[in-house]
Amino acid sequence: MSKFLATVFLCLWAGSLSADVLQTSAGPVQVSKVAEGLDTPWAVGILPDGSFLVTERDGDLLYVSKGKARRVKGAPKVAANGQGGLLDVTVAKNFQRTREIFLTFSKPQKGGAGTALAVARLSEAGDRLTNSRVIFEAVPGGSGGRHFGSRVVEAPDGKLFVTIGDRGDRPQAQNRSNHMGTVIRINRDGTVPANNPFVGQSDIRPEIWSYGHRNPQGAGLDGRGNLWLSEHGARGGDEVNRIKPGANYGWPVISYGVHYSGDKIGEGTSKPGMEQPEHYWDPSIAPSGLVVYSGKLWPEWRGNLFVGSLKFDYIARLSGSNLREVEQIKGPETERVRDIVEAPDGSIWFISVGQGAIYRMVPAS
């Protein structure tokens, strides 16, 4: 089936497609398919009226509303190579006034590609992006197709966090003269906030908020505005980190994993001046999307983290003052979970790359 024909078969809302019931610690939940026929979906952004946007890694942005899907014209040109392409989509908090969305993608650059952030205005009909502009791009570009990171999160104060992987060049995650292996923080117009931790320091990129990251593909805010990341380790050592400004998260000097060859990584599992993860997995689960749940539909899950697993096909629920995985939500629908978000009504939406579909999870009636 061509990508164009596949979009024709997208459907919307619970009840229009099959639903299943999964058992969880909070009781049975209904998991309903809200879109299918997707080609390597990467992220979903839910709009205030219940319609939604979906990115496909090869470069398509889709708008789904009232049972119909259409391609959105004007999406940025991407370097669709390896793990690169059109990646995250985040709906601006003031969307109802501005109609702005944020997109991360692998931008073609001299020598390869780098993670970039664009902001654009979605037309009223949902069929076109206008006033699209790149407000940040990581430098330097890299020739490989690995580790773009690429989640974008809008903080309560309107600042933007973007995660950037090490691009497969491990030592660069400790080199603050470039953006590899960092979380950056910028204003909505792309300028650098004056209170970023490294502003004014020579040979350090002023956008950097934290560094020493390998490939953070999940990011979300808790109720206090703290940023949390899920990060890919190598063989073992996948991490969940609570991000602090100016902090060094250790890659590749410390890790709880080993190289794929089995060789030791760096200097061990700890070193002064480097942060410890809040939780780590060994063996690796290949964590992707992350959300800190509000408790709107499931009060017992308030403040819990939900992280998708690409490797073991489940949604991990993490809880506790000493954060740990306490539950695995698993079914045919959770095949290679790439993104996971909370909708305004408290329902949990997630992308299954393996199924080429998006699902919506609510308490079973």
Q: Which residues form the catalytic set?
A: 147
Distance, CA of 66 to CA of 82 (rounded, Å): 33
8-state DSSP, 97:
H
Q: What three-state secondary structure class fits 274?
A: coil
> In sequence order, what are the residues at sequence separation of 6 or more whose Cβ sits closer than 8 angstroms to the Cβ of residue 91?
45, 46, 47, 48, 53, 101
Distance, CA of 215 to CA of 291 (rounded, Å): 17
Strands (E), 92-203: 100-109, 112-122, 129-137, 152-154, 160-164, 182-186
Residue type, 173: A
Beta bridge partners of 136: 117
Distance, CA of 342 to CA of 321 (rounded, Å): 22
Instruction: Render 310-334 in DSSP notation, one character per residue.
Output: SSS--EEEEETTTTEEEEEE-SGGG
Distance, CA of 118 to CA of 61 (rounded, Å): 13
- Residue 252: asked if its preceding bond is cis (omega within 30°), the reply is yes
Distance, CA of 253 to CA of 271 (rounded, Å): 8
How big is the chain by its Cα radius of gyration, in Å?
A: 19
Distance, CA of 90 to CA of 101 (rounded, Å): 6
Cα atoms in the Cβ-side hemisphere of radius 13 Å centred on 101: 32
Distance, CA of 79 to CA of 96 (rounded, Å): 31
- Residue 332: asked if its preceding bond is cis (omega within 30°), the reply is no
| Neighbouring C-beta atoms of residue 297, cutoff 10 Å | 18
The residue written with tokens 């909370």 in the block is 342
